[in-house]
Chains A and B, each alone.
Chain A
């Protein structure tokens, strides 16, 4: 029991350690003004869907299979995945998008 609690605390800490870069990017691009994102403070906007259970979603934006690559491509250029998407192209670079996608896919589980 104590061991379990310890690993949980360690895991949470590790998660926090690995994330600051992704969190900084999410903050910089203002993703939370349109999305609810767990553990990222902000207005919890609802222009876009909540990003609270990305790992279990079958599709990205309801149109493409949810893989890390597709998710990153969508974040970098939403209209490349769905021309009709209402999410604006925020000018996120491919590398930044990869980091954010990794972060989102680590949320919720």
Chain B
């Protein structure tokens, strides 16, 4: 009895000591973006990251007809969404990206060591705490694969050839535009509740609203808390609360109220329906079930 307690004590002390050593020798106390990780920490993180991604990316199914291909349309897509951070052949990343930690990798180099499935995995799911964003639900499946093919073809692309592709592409795609996202499972009358929650997470709704089910800072009140948004008589104080109006609001708030501080975030109609479904599911009084009455606009 005494002996086992002593062994337990020694074990706990050893774990604590090891934790403290990794924390201080690994310089995890330094949170600035200018202080690099010690080499062994960097290597350790990269090793763990690549092992996990390698395992997960095995389940990514490559669509039929996929090829590594650089054409004007995919170059324009890349220039619009990726070059700001990763640069392109002969093109530097934007100033802000040069100061990121970790610094966004050169993708021509990454493409030499990563299979297409992993590149796709990065584009779709992003990488937590690195600055690599997820494009899930905000870029069509086809575009994500087009970009995957483009990144794969990048090692064979000279700066002149890249410039030529952009030239041929002409105008870059719009800044923020709704994409046709494939309809999800679990459809209810107005949308899928769980997909709505996930979609709100990847459209930065939580940067302005408190939303049950989405983790974030405890005191953001840029817009009202959305826990009871589905139950209030009016949406944003201007629109009668009906499912269709909720979708309208989420897709383009400033078309409803030009003075509104909520911007359009490029949400597609399908996802706006899912978000509305989630909001109505949160509220104690679900107005999506109420009988429509009077003028729909007010």
The chain A residues found within 8 Å of chain B, CB to CB, are 46-50, 53, 56-59, 61-64, 82-87
Contacts and interface: CB of A to CB of B under 8 A. Distances in A.
B228 A47 contact: no
20 contacts: A46-B231, A46-B232, A46-B233, A47-B232, A47-B234, A48-B232, A48-B237, A49-B232, A50-B224, A50-B225, A53-B221, A57-B221, A59-B223, A62-B224, A62-B257, A82-B238, A85-B238, A86-B237, A86-B298, A87-B237
Nearest to B234: A86
A82 B234 contact: no
B228 to A, nearest CB: 7
B219 interface: yes
Interface of B is mostly: loop
Interface residues of B, number: 22
Contacts of A57: 221
Given A46-B231, A62-B262, A84 B257 contact: yes
A32 to B, nearest CB: 15
Contacts of A87: 237
Interface of A is mostly: loop
Contacts of A46: 228, 231-233, 285
Given A62-B262, A84-B257, A86-B237, 11 more contacts: A46-B232, A47-B233, A49-B232, A50-B228, A56-B219, A59-B222, A62-B236, A86-B234, A86-B238, A86-B298, A87-B237
Given A63-B257, A63-B259, A63-B261, A85 B221 contact: no
B101 to A, nearest CB: 29
B260 A62 contact: yes
B84 to A, nearest CB: 27
Nearest to A87: B237
Nearest to B259: A63
A82 B237 contact: yes
A56 B228 CA distance: 18
A59 B228 contact: no
Given A48-B237, A49-B232, A49-B237, A56 B221 contact: yes
B285 to A, nearest CB: 7
Nearest to B227: A50
A86 B224 CA distance: 16
- 5 nearest interchain CB pairs? A63-B259, A47-B233, A84-B238, A57-B221, A56-B221
Interface in B184-237: 219, 221-225, 228, 231-234, 236-237
A56 B224 CA distance: 11
Contacts of B232: 46-49
Interface in B262-286: 262, 285
Given A47-B233, A48-B237, A85-B237, A59 B261 contact: yes
